[in-house]
Amino acid sequence: MDLTNNTLITAYKKAGSKLGTAFVAMLFAIIAVSCSVSYKFNGASIDYSKTKTIQIADFPIRSSYVWGPMGPMFNNQLKDIFANNTKLIQVKRNGDLKIEGEITQYTQRNKSVTAEGHSAQTELAITVNVRFTNTTNHSEDFERQFTATSTYETTQSLNAVQEELVTEMIKDITDQIFNATVANW
């Protein structure tokens, strides 16, 4: 019986060693495939041999309702998304790509009402008008509006949630602008 136990233990060790090796090899293959398949879709599809610069104008606020920090927040985020996701050089004038426009609306409205007839949720919205010019391919030029919305409970004050919600909406709008201008999605 002792001989059988030793034989089984030896067979188990050999099989375990082979299984362990197979497991490590399979784990390595999965990691290698996942790393090679993993691709960050920042969307930029720019021919850098033709397009080297981008001109991004500051967007003034033309909305009747205004929150002061919104303009600088938007302008900085728009410039940052192109700086972080493309190799384009930002210039003050004569850019191969030009983005200009204005913040046309910043609104709030009741989105839902309670059974008692009181507002339960309020929706904030930002709309931005964008004029895009591609001096290397004018067929891509456009003027378009981009909108983002965010909702908050009316039990909260606008002052308490405004910065967070505006930041989220600006991120959404600048992503939309980036995709529309250089992603060609």
Which of 185, 184, 179, 182 is CA-nearest to residue 52?
182
* pLDDT at residue 32, as a whole number: 45
Least confident window among 21-30, 56-65, 99-108:
21-30
- The structure tokens listed for 47 are 């021919």
Ramachandran area for residue 53 (φ above 0: left; ψ -120 to 50: alpha; else beta): beta
pLDDT for 19 equals: 55
Percent over 70 (pLDDT), the chain:
75
What is the structure's pLDDT at 5? 53
User: What is this structure's pTM?
Assistant: 0.75
